[in-house]
Amino acid sequence: MSLLTVAANRSKTQQMILAKLNDLPPFSPVLNKLLASLGDESFSYRHLGSLIEQDTVLTGNVLRMVNSAAYGRRVEVMAISKAISILGVNKLRNLVLTLSVANMWRSLKVANGWSLERFNTHELATAILCDAIAQRANVAFPEGAFLAGLLHDLGKLLIVMASPADHLDIEAHAARTGCSRLEAEQLILEIDHAALSADALAIWRLPEALQIAVRQHHTPCAGDLSMIVSVADECANRLGFSVNEPDGLPERTDAELCAAALDRMGLASEAERLLTEFRAEFDVARSIR
């Protein structure tokens, strides 16, 4: 789907917001090939290794990850093939997606008062939580959970880039009236960030399952990828990794904070184990970005 096709049925404001996709750095060849591999059961260790070795910076980051304290290696790993055998295809693909997407955002200029660092941190936390939840849930296209989490709030970034004034109006209206940010976006822009995120994924020709998950993550369906994104998004916010500056967190453990959200998928009892996995991967991913 082209940018013109998506934008044709939108208002001028909406077209302006979507047009900001043209200001984002282009996908790297490695990222394009990784995106094409989603859902490809024939995608192998050999294919992933050959992709990683095309990029020296990426190769260095992968080896740094596998040699980090989180993996407790006594002998330093020096070969990508060995790193893949230790981490597995999915974990390494997620790492490459994280590095590639974070690199796209790095050079962007955004409005005062908007923290690109908090945005990146929230997207990363949500992505890792999505992947951890997907491994425990019976849901179609679980291999897309990480990327859905990584891009679920892309629409927020596009709004800030395209119209800082509208962004401030949205924040002010939500604070003044007590309505949700989503409702404020719909009132002021006639579209919300979830729909904009989905439109962006359509323009990038990402799988329809990802588009639906992102579009519906504030109104998720049980047993659907959108529910995983919704629960992961809520957990990330409860843990303090929100796009906006957190107002302060209740004095409860992380597991207690996330258990209610995870209970929406019958996973409350998994909270402690899931968060242990999350912390290990999150700390490593943040250290190499």
CA distances from 45 to 55, 65, 76, 87 (A): 16, 17, 20, 11
Output the six-digit token pair for 285. Answer: 């991913």
Which domains, from first to last, does the chain contain?
A: 1-24+111-289 (1.10.3210.10), 26-107 (no CATH)
Cα-based distances in Å from 86 to 48, 67, 70, 91, 98: 13, 10, 12, 10, 19
Q: What is the pLDDT of residue 124?
A: 94
Predicted confidence at residue 1, as pLDDT, reads 47
DSSP the chain: --HHHHHTTS-HHHHHHHHGGGGSPPPPHHHHHHHHHTT-TT--HHHHHHHHTT-HHHHHHHHHHHTSGGGT-SS----HHHHHHHH-HHHHHHHHHHHHHHHHHHT----TT--HHHHHHHHHHHHHHHHHHHTTS--S-GGGHHHHHHHTTHHHHHHHHH-HHHHHHHHHHHHHH---HHHHHHHHHSS-HHHHHHHHHHHTT--HHHHHHHHTTTS--TTSHHHHHHHHHHHHHHTT--SSPP----SS-HHHHHHHHHGGGT-GGGHHHHHHHHHHHHHHHHHT-
> Which pLDDT score is estimated for 153?
96
Give the pLDDT confidence score for residue 115 in this predicted structure.
Answer: 87
pLDDT tens string for the chain (289 positions)?
Answer: 444 555 455 677 778 898 888 888 777 787 787 777 776 767 777 777 888 888 888 888 888 888 877 677 778 888 888 888 888 878 888 888 888 787 777 777 776 778 888 999 999 999 999 999 999 998 888 989 999 999 999 999 999 999 888 998 999 999 999 999 999 999 999 999 999 999 999 998 889 999 999 999 999 998 899 999 999 999 999 999 998 766 555 556 788 889 999 999 999 999 999 999 899 889 878 876 6
Q: Under a CB-based contact definition with an 8 Å cutoff, are residues 178 and 198 in contact?
A: no
Would you state the pLDDT for residue 75? 83
Instruction: Give 28: exposed, middle or buried? Use CB within 10 Å, 0-12, 13-18, 19+.
Output: middle
DSSP 54-78: T-HHHHHHHHHHHTSGGGT-SS---
pTM of the entire predicted model: 0.87
**Distance (Å, whole) CA 246 – CA 240:** 6
